[in-house]
Amino acid sequence: MSNVPSDRKYAKSHEWVQVTGDTGVVGITDHAQQELTDIVFVELPAVGRQVKAGEACAVVESVKTASDIYSPVSGEIVATNAAVVDNPALVNTDAHAGGWLYKIKLGNPAELQALLSPADYQKQIGG
């Protein structure tokens, strides 16, 4: 069974956001990385880029396929995780911590209400 941490919100497209204050850390779920298998390349959005909720803003490529990563919330990219660019396998081994993708300054915190709770996401993936 996939690990679904309770301290974040989830998009139906398998991204998570963990919010502290007005900033969210975004990554893909453990379930998503299991489906993708061995991740070999990560392309992250530029710092300073404005993104909308649901907008494709990053790419994760595995030995099987390339997948767009959709921002779960709108806002400005304020940091990216250089460690996953240098070592894409971190997304596989540590999807919910060291394998985070980017940080975003929330443009509209109310959008968090549209995301799935951990329990609802667990139901979506069949847990």
For 67, list phi and psi in degrees, rounded to 5: -130, 135
pLDDT at 1 over 60: no
Is 0.85 topped by the overall pTM? yes
pLDDT at 112 over 70: yes
Classify 125 as helix, strand or coil.
coil
Q: Residue 10 in contact with residue 122, Cβ under 8 Å?
A: no
Domains of the chain by residue range: 10-124
Each residue's pLDDT tens digit, 86-102: 999 999 999 999 999 99
- The topology (CATH level 3) of 10-124 is OB fold (Dihydrolipoamide Acetyltransferase, E2P) (2.40.50)
Each residue's pLDDT tens digit, 29-59: 999 999 999 999 999 999 999 999 999 999 9
pLDDT at 127 over 80: no
Q: Exposed (0-12), middle (13-18) or buried (19+): which is 63, by Cβ within 10 Å?
A: exposed
**According to the model, what pLDDT value does residue 2 have?**
61
The residues with which 75 forms a beta bridge, in sequence order, are 51, 106
Q: Which is nearest to 15 in space by CA: 36, 35, 2, 30?
A: 30
Rg (CA), the chain: 13
